[in-house]
């Protein structure tokens, strides 16, 4: 039995859904269209089963906890090979979890994704007008120059990160370090309801379990199965949940898909000149790029040990003693984490015997690049008489950044950039699923951009007239 009918339904209430609907609001083909937006907005009881004590408080902003329950619901049955995860709590749809640090993809990365760079650039400009992007108020230049000396503007480039912050942010420079202010922006119910030219009806506390060309099944808050008929279904549930819903399509015979992810490197070193600075620069206050032949090889954020130490919780280690030692040393500590492009990982996802298997290995490129990065860092440390205290290469499946995951037989690079699936009429995909390469950079701004572009350019299919 169908319990409701609509023109268009969007699954997911994250950044990509918002970008898509903002684009659709400006699309004359869809003026005043009735849209249903469906996503869970409350914690699921099973959320508490996950131990999150050793995750940085950066990720414990209220809404972020939502993602834990999706993980349990959707990936109870999954295994991993050659794969460790640091953002696994976000694996089944991140539910608006992210640090908020943003950057635009360069021309080369856009071309690798089959986008038209100048068109994409103008989309970045358009979304900039409605996203609350800003920089932290602290100027990093003097402090960082002192610390990094001749590395600034040579191989190790330091720049300001942009952050997506809410109006109530007081630029305390701590917003990525367990901020109690909930200052990181994510689209709220109000944001969705205020999108112009669309008649948006939000169905909260619902979780979609299955889709077909124009019908979806969802569970409501009483865990009852309900159905919805829609001319167009838009998947904006995050890369992993989108995959899970796409493999349920009856047209999808094979569940194999390419998954793109950005291997990560995290490091901490002691630098005693560091202590001469009176004020700290906060987490996310400095973005650095390591380049080779004018190509960015590695992109990361520099954190300040102090800003980590004042965060609540076990930031450094889950072992209390190690954690306390780190906290004492943190005044002298510089911490960094960054990413390599998805070319450094060869990763696939498949559904085998009711189990989702994510299988990956490093590519040859990875070993060369990681050696180069370590050499640059080591050289820097030697000059500054600093020492490494911790270095960690996380395996592929540095699952903060996922893209792709479109089952092979539905995938066509010329179609997927517009959110279209091969052989399927009425389902559109937005967000990370529409990308086929990730540069070593924060991807969410680009996910929002392409989702917006898809919403803006979408035409009504014959079934929708
Ligand atoms: C720990 C961490 C830190 C990160 N930091 C950064 C950063 O600093 N900068 C950056 O650019 N990116 C960062 N990312 C990546 C960022 O989280 C993602 O790129 C971004 O969340 C993608 O947005 P989205 O809207 O496509 O998907 P999501 O944010 O995953 O949103 C998916 C939405 O769909 C809903 N949903 C999922 N499944 C269903 C279903 N079956 N039925 C109904 N609704 C469903 C969810 O509730 C949610 O509302 C980080 C990720 C993690 C995990």
Q: Is the CB of 169 under 6 A from ligand 1?
A: no
95 has a pLDDT exceeding 50:
no
Query: How many A from CA of 26 to the centre of ligand 1?
Result: 24
- Its pTM stands at 0.90
Measured between alpha carbons, how far is residue 356 from residues 71, 74, 76, 398 in Å? 12, 9, 9, 17
Q: Which of 130-139, 175-184, 294-303 has the lowest mean pLDDT?
A: 175-184
Q: Is the CB of 231 under 6 A from ligand 1?
A: no
For a mutational test of ligand 1's pocket, the pick from 9, 12, 131, 401, i.e. the residue with the most ligand atoms closer than 8 A to its C-beta, is 12
Measured between alpha carbons, how far is residue 171 from residues 136, 142, 156, 215 in Å? 6, 19, 26, 45
249 has a pLDDT exceeding 70:
yes
Domain boundary assignment for the chain: 5-464
DSSP designation for 453? H
With a CB cutoff of 8 Å and minimum separation 6, the contacts of 39 are: 11, 12, 13, 14, 17, 203, 204, 206, 207, 237
Token pair recorded at residue 232: 């167009």
Summarize pLDDT for 350-397 with one digit per residue, the tens: 988 878 888 888 899 999 999 999 998 888 888 888 898 878 777 666
Q: Is the CB of 187 under 6 A from ligand 1?
A: no
Summarize pLDDT for 68-91 with one digit per residue, the tens: 545 555 555 566 676 655 554 344
> Which run of H or of E encompasses 456?
helix 444-457
Read out DSSP for 346-403? EEEEEEETTEEEEEEEE-HHHHHHHHHHHHHHHHHHHHTT-EEEEEEEEPS--TTSEE
Q: Is the CB of 401 under 6 A from ligand 1?
A: yes
pLDDT at 195: 97
Residue whose C-alpha is closest to residue 12's, from 185, 204, 183:
204
Q: Which of 66-70, 106-110, 205-209, 286-290 has the lowest mean pLDDT?
A: 66-70
414-430: b (≥16 Cβ within 10 Å) or e: ebbbbbbbeebbbbbbb
Query: How many A from CA of 291 to the centre of ligand 1?
Result: 28
Q: Is the CB of 70 under 6 A from ligand 1?
A: yes
Query: How many A from CA of 3 to the centre of ligand 1?
Result: 28
Token pair recorded at residue 263: 């291997």
Q: Are strands 345-352 and 257-261 parallel, antiparallel or unpaired?
A: antiparallel
Yes or no: say if 337 and 376 are a contact pair by the CB < 8 Å rule: no
Q: Is the CB of 163 under 6 A from ligand 1?
A: no
pLDDT at 325: 78
Read out DSSP for 405-420? EEEGGG--HHHHTTTE
pLDDT at 126: 97
**Distance between alpha carbon 8 and the CA centroid of its chain, in Å?**
25
Query: How many A from CA of 464 to the centre of ligand 1?
Result: 29
Q: Is the CB of 44 under 6 A from ligand 1?
A: no
d(CA 437, CA 109): 7
d(CA 259, CA 356): 12
Instruction: Give the closest residue (by CA) to ligand 1 atom 8.
Output: 99
pLDDT at 462: 44
Yes or no: say if 203 and 219 are a contact pair by the CB < 8 Å rule: no
- Ligand 1 atom with minimal separation from the 445 CA: 11
Measured between alpha carbons, how far is residue 413 from residues 111, 130, 205, 360, 404 in Å? 12, 29, 34, 21, 10
CATH among 1.10.1660, 2.40.70, 3.50.50, 3.40.50 for 5-464: 3.50.50
Rounded to an integer, the average pLDDT of 421-444 is 95
Summarize pLDDT for 308-350 with one digit per residue, the tens: 555 444 455 667 787 777 777 777 888 788 899 999 999 999 9
Q: Is the CB of 14 under 6 A from ligand 1?
A: yes
Q: Is the CB of 98 under 6 A from ligand 1?
A: yes
d(CA 157, CA 64): 31
pLDDT at 360: 86
């Amino acid at each position: 039995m169908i319990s409701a009918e609509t023109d268009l339904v969007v699954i997911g209430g994250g950044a990509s859904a918002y970008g898509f609907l903002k684009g659709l609001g400006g699309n004359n083909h869809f003026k005043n269209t009735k849209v249903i937006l469906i996503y869970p907005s409350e914690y699921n009881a099973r959320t508490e089963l996950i131990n999150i004590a050793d995750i940085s408080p950066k990720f414990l902003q209220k809404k972020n906890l939502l993602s834990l329950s999706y993980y349990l619901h959707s990936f109870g049955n999954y295994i991993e090979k050659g794969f460790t995860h640091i953002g696994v709590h976000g694996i089944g749809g991140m539910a608006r979890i992210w640090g908020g640090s943003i950057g635009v993809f360069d021309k080369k990365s856009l071309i690798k994704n089959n986008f038209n760079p100048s068109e994409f650039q103008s989309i970045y400009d358009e979304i900039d007008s409605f996203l609350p992007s800003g920089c932290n108020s602290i100027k990093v230049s003097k402090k960082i120059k002192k610390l990094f000396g001749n590395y600034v503007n040579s191989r190790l480039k330091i720049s300001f990160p942009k952050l997506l912050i809410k109006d109530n942010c007081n630029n305390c420079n701590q917003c990525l370090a367990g901020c109690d202010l909930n200052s990181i922006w994510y689209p709220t119910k109000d944001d969705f309801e205020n999108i112009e030219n669309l008649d948006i009806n939000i169905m909260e506390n619902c979780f979609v379990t299955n889709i077909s060309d124009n019908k979806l099944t969802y569970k409501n808050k009483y865990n009852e199965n309900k159905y919805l008929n829609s001319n167009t279904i838009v998947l904006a549930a995050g890369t992993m949940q989108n995959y899970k819903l796409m493999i349920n399509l009856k047209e999808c015979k094979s569940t194999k898909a390419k998954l793109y992810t950005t291997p990560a490197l995290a490091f901490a070193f002691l630098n005693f000149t560091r202590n001469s600075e009176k004020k700290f620069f906060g987490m996310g206050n400095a973005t650095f790029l390591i380049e080779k032949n004018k190509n960015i090889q590695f992109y990361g954020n520099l954190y300040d040990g102090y800003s980590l130490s004042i965060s609540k919780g076990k930031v450094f280690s889950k072992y209390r003693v190690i954690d306390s030692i780190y906290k004492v040393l943190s005044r002298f500590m510089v911490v960094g984490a960054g990413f390599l492009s998805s070319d450094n990982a060869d990763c696939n996802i498949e559904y085998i015997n009711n189990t989702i298997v994510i299988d990956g290995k490093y590519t040859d490129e990875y070993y060369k690049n990681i050696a180069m990065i370590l050499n640059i860092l080591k050289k820097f440390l030697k000059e500054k008489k600093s020492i490494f205290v911790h270095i960690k290469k996380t395996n592929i499946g540095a699952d903060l950044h996922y893209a792709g995951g479109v089952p092979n037989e539905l995938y066509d690079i010329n179609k997927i950039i517009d959110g279209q699936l091969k052989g399927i009429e009425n389902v559109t995909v937005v967000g990370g699923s529409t990308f086929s390469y990730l540069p070593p950079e924060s991807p969410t701004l680009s996910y929002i951009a392409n989702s917006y572009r898809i919403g803006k350019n979408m035409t009504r299919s014959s079934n929708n007239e």
